[in-house]
Chain A
Amino acid sequence: MILLFAPFVSGAQSVGNFVDDESDLYASTKQVNQFFRRFNGEEDFKGERLYPEDKDYRNPELRKTYFSNLFNNDNGLISAGLKTEFINHSLDKKDPVFLEFLGGDWFAEVTTTFTYQGKDQFLTLFLQLEKDTVGSKWVISQVYFEPFAKVFADQDSLRKTGQKFLHPMSHELDFMNLIRVFDNKTSLEQYLAWKYRPDYLTLFVYEFKKGNLAFKTINKVKFHFFQVDGWYFELSDFNRKGYNTGWLISSLAKVSKDEKELLLKYIYHE
């Protein structure tokens, strides 16, 4: 695999004049875009794009070669057997799987630092690609922020003995018992609709517009993929020496439909 990435110095024009072994740079999955192309077999070993009319376009042998270096091989968490099963599924002769940049089921998780109430805090933004009337763009779809989460009670634990409620005949008294709802900050959620969930994104927008939140920097980026039917994988950036670097699969799992919902709740901290 490594020999395939012997230095390819393109003929007449290239950026550099530096003489050094560049095979590790060629081997590296340098962009998420490159991960897509390699997964799909849509580029050659020089990193040049292949088109449908090219003979190696989406060639299964080409894809198989790439797959061996698309996982974080330092990770003992992904077993060889699971990897093989995933690869075989993706390269299925009758129904091969290809990733889609636009319209596919994947999203970004970005850990950032914001200043909130005078303190630097981690804030997680979830982004997804959205088609616009022309072209596409990344949009913030959800937020997780621990200072917000701490304020809200765990909705799932509210239905228990001793819970507070507005009795079913409250309407006959013009809901005068609402006075008890608002005499205690901690129990307010007990009086909300059962399916209520706090919307951190709206809170984020509100606090930002009020000037209580200020962006500082980006800390980490990773991506969650549910595009391969029955499978989940996470994509992270590995900045290290060697040939197994760049954007690589850092986590892999088989997921049923129900498991997918649970996993999403976990990712979104719901």
Chain B
Amino acid sequence: MIKKILFRSVIIMMVLSLAGGMSACKSKKKLAKEKEAAEYAAKVNTARQTLLDILNDNTTMSLEEKEAAVKSIKAMNLNDPEIDELIRQAEAKLAAERAALIKKGQEGQKTAEEAMVKPEAAATTALTTYFASIAGATSVSQANMQIAEALKMFSSPDVPVLVIISKENNVVDYDKPTTIKAYLNYLKDTKNNINKVDKITLDSTGKIKELELLKTY
């Protein structure tokens, strides 16, 4: 009798631990999937917002910057029907704007000017957007994901960041220099997004190699 009870107990324990092990396995997978889903959802949200801003003229981006933004969203290959439709609409709108410019005869001059400032201006816009999403992130993982994306714009995570606290005549006062990785993590922790992009220096590959911000109290 006792042997039977013991045997049954062992079997029950084996079943429980197997189920536990499976559920542990299952919860790890589940967690990874949930993380992936959250990251994807955040990307889709950011893309949707940018495209809607372009379509509703709710942005100060130049035509070049808008075209660059749509191109980069398209390159993300999000495979979301809504996003795909918004991309299609935005491309059509921007193509019309481009045609209107050519018609006005201003394109030659403007293109030359915009070509010169295009990379820095586009980078400024993108960086400003990243700062806002990192500081406004509703979770640490969402912020970390945005940080990882933003860091791709830089030649390394140790790119120096100078923050100007005061500019009076020719005298510039700086806060203690930091690195872009440390700065983005600072944004995540404090949500203190009061520094505007003042100057970006790009390397030969188009990555940011130095960044100056201006504190706006």
**Can you spell out 4 A-B residue pairs with CB atoms less than 8 angstroms apart?**
A12-B194, A12-B217, A13-B194, A13-B217
A237 to B217, CA, bound (A): 33
A13 to B194, CA, bound (A): 10
Q: Report the interface size for chain A: residues with CB under 8 A from the other chain.
A: 2
Chain A interface mostly:
loop
A13 to B191, CA, bound (A): 12
A42 to B60, CA, bound (A): 44
**Min distance, Cβ A48 to any Cβ of chain B, angstroms:** 13
Task: Give chain A residues whose Cβ lies under 8 Å from the Cβ of B217.
Answer: 12-13
Q: Size range of the interface on B?
A: under 10
A13 to B217, CA, bound (A): 7
Chain B interface mostly:
loop
Task: Give chain A residues whose Cβ lies under 8 Å from the Cβ of B194.
Answer: 12-13
Task: Give chain B residues whose Cβ lies under 8 Å from the Cβ of A12.
Answer: 194, 217
**Min distance, Cβ A13 to any Cβ of chain B, angstroms:** 6
Bitwise, A88-117 to B at CB < 8 A (1) or not (0) is 000000000000000000000000000000
Interface residues of B in 196-217 (CB under 8 A from A): 217
Bitwise, A1-34 to B at CB < 8 A (1) or not (0) is 0000000000011000000000000000000000
The 4 A-B residue pairs whose C-beta atoms are closest, nearest first, are: A13-B217, A12-B217, A13-B194, A12-B194
- Chain B residue nearest in CB terms to A10: B217
**Min distance, Cβ A136 to any Cβ of chain B, angstroms:** 25
A12 to B217, CA, bound (A): 7
Bitwise, A29-61 to B at CB < 8 A (1) or not (0) is 000000000000000000000000000000000
**Min distance, Cβ B128 to any Cβ of chain A, angstroms:** 18
**Min distance, Cβ A223 to any Cβ of chain B, angstroms:** 34
Bitwise, B117-143 to A at CB < 8 A (1) or not (0) is 000000000000000000000000000
- Chain A residue nearest in CB terms to B217: A13
A12 to B194, CA, bound (A): 10
Interface residues of A in 112-170 (CB under 8 A from B): none
A13 to B190, CA, bound (A): 13
- Chain B residue nearest in CB terms to A13: B217
A13 to B195, CA, bound (A): 13
- Chain A residue nearest in CB terms to B192: A13
- Chain A residue nearest in CB terms to B216: A12
- Chain B residue nearest in CB terms to A12: B217
**Min distance, Cβ B186 to any Cβ of chain A, angstroms:** 16
**Min distance, Cβ B216 to any Cβ of chain A, angstroms:** 8
Interface residues of B in 171-195 (CB under 8 A from A): 194
Task: Give chain B residues whose Cβ lies under 8 Å from the Cβ of A13.
Answer: 194, 217
**Min distance, Cβ A14 to any Cβ of chain B, angstroms:** 11
**Min distance, Cβ B42 to any Cβ of chain A, angstroms:** 25
**Min distance, Cβ B217 to any Cβ of chain A, angstroms:** 6
- Chain B residue nearest in CB terms to A11: B217
A13 to B216, CA, bound (A): 10
**Min distance, Cβ B196 to any Cβ of chain A, angstroms:** 13
**Min distance, Cβ B168 to any Cβ of chain A, angstroms:** 16
**Min distance, Cβ A88 to any Cβ of chain B, angstroms:** 41
**Min distance, Cβ A99 to any Cβ of chain B, angstroms:** 30
**Min distance, Cβ A16 to any Cβ of chain B, angstroms:** 14
